[in-house]
A and B are shown apart, each in its own frame.
Chain A
Amino acid sequence: MKMTKIYEGSHQWIMFGRDENKPSNIIDSNQYAVRTANKCLLMDPGGSELFAPMMAAILHHAPVEQITDLFASHQDPDVISSLGLWDQALSNAKLHAPALWEGFIRHFGCESIEYVPIPDNGGTIKLENIELQLIPAHYLHSSANFHVYDPQAKILMSGDVGSALEPAGTPMFVENFDSHIEKMRYFHQRWMPSNHAKRAWIERVRNLDIDILAPQHGRIFKGDDVKHFLDWFDALQVGVAV
């Protein structure tokens, strides 16, 4: 599991991904952690196959008892099917996940972890002295879906939005936006169901000050590429399977 620090300030953002030992038939995913002095939040902690390598990687940054918060942007197995294992490892943790999906996500096993349901209009996650915003991203692609915005680090963790399907060992950051487009097009056209939902999200996100857009698959967007992505996504027709 590769680890990349994508923000270092009063707290840290760490990205985990490109696991060399991942079976080739499961989709590669990016996991993110926010680390404060005494706490650690994991965002989209991943599928059950990833649990052991993820935990082992996090132990480079935080002890297990300081992993106090998990976040699931939506209900997909690549996002949170590891929950049943975290549930047995963490003794004092909360899972922030869409209220709408509670009865579904609990199928993965959620006994000792407290499920904190996120209402449709969003909310916040407090981690010691920082406050992260939960931005609604419904129907992108899941019917109840949230992204995490950190106003201090200016990072938007954007779940499946901005994702690209790429071969193993791909670099962490988008280097050439134009050549990256083809790797994202089909994913967004096919997985994202609604132009209307896309419009609403873009309007909301254009009001945020974003330096880094961090998706759950593929590469991270930095600086001007964030704007490039929003413009490209704005013009794209989605929901093409019908």
Chain B
Amino acid sequence: MNIQTKSQFVAVASITSELSAVMVVAKEISLAAANAKAIAFRAGDKAKGFQPITDFINELAKETIELVTSINVYALSLYQLTVNEYRKTIAYNKFELITELSKGAAYARSMEEPLEKAKITMENCQRQFKRDVKQLLDQLEAVMHHARAARVIAANSRIEASQAGEYLQSLQAVAESVDKAAHTIHDNVQRCRIALSLYRNN
């Protein structure tokens, strides 16, 4: 296995692990949202501005979880594609070697067709891989978008929290944890994208 193939395997496999971390954090956000909702409910009028925000956070967390679930399915199929491409490439290389080794053999030319077929299959695999990587990158971009939105909401939450009197601290803590979680998601997804973007155009 050459370095290019090896790192392609690693890049694709790492998506799944980064995404499972994203999943944990998204669940944390959804928990923070439930927590905030309870506090806002107790705070009553003092946290009026905070209540719609908690719904929004919850919605965002749910969407992120859904998105990551579907990306995971995609990442798995990308992994299978990587395995397939690896197999087809090996076969093609072996078929080329056969052409070399069988020079002068009575039936050497009968390998021409399998060789040609193997080449087409391998190239199709490579094309499909690039296509799928591009789609996965787009989906990851959507997750990043969610993470950025969550950070904006966290900033708004802080402002709203400052109006909440004795609930200030607990609501600020909610805003804090949403911000932190969004930050983690952003970083993890960014790492996936950097690892993958190597394979988009080459």
Contacts and interface: CB of A to CB of B under 8 A. Distances in A.
Contacts of B110: 59, 63-65
A55 B98 contact: yes
A56 B91 contact: no
Interface string B76-98: 00000000000110110011011
B102 interface: yes
A53 B94 CA distance: 9
A55 B111 contact: yes
A84 B88 CA distance: 10
B108 A59 contact: yes
Contact of B101 (A56, A63, A89): A56
A56 B118 contact: no
B106 interface: yes
Nearest to B99: A56
A56 B109 CA distance: 11
Contact of B107 (A51, A59, A85, A91): A59
Interface residues of B, number: 20
Contact residues of A: prevailing secondary structure: helix
A53 B95 contact: no
A88 B98 contact: no
A62 interface: yes
B94 A63 contact: no
Interface string B104-136: 011110110110001001000000000000000
A85 B97 CA distance: 13
A59 B111 contact: yes
Contacts of A107: none
A52 B105 contact: no
A89 B91 contact: yes
A55 B97 CA distance: 10
A64 B115 CA distance: 11
A123 interface: no
A85 B91 contact: yes
Interface of A: 51-53, 55-56, 59-65, 84-85, 88-89, 91, 109
Interface pairs A-B: 8 shortest CB-CB: A63-B110, A56-B101, A56-B102, A63-B107, A59-B105, A88-B91, A52-B97, A59-B102
Given A85-B91, A88-B87, A109-B87, 18 more contacts: A52-B94, A52-B98, A53-B101, A55-B102, A56-B98, A56-B101, A56-B102, A59-B107, A59-B110, A60-B102, A60-B107, A63-B110, A64-B113, A64-B114, A65-B113, A89-B95, A89-B111, A89-B118
Interface of B: 87-88, 90-91, 94-95, 97-98, 101-102, 105-108, 110-111, 113-114, 118, 121
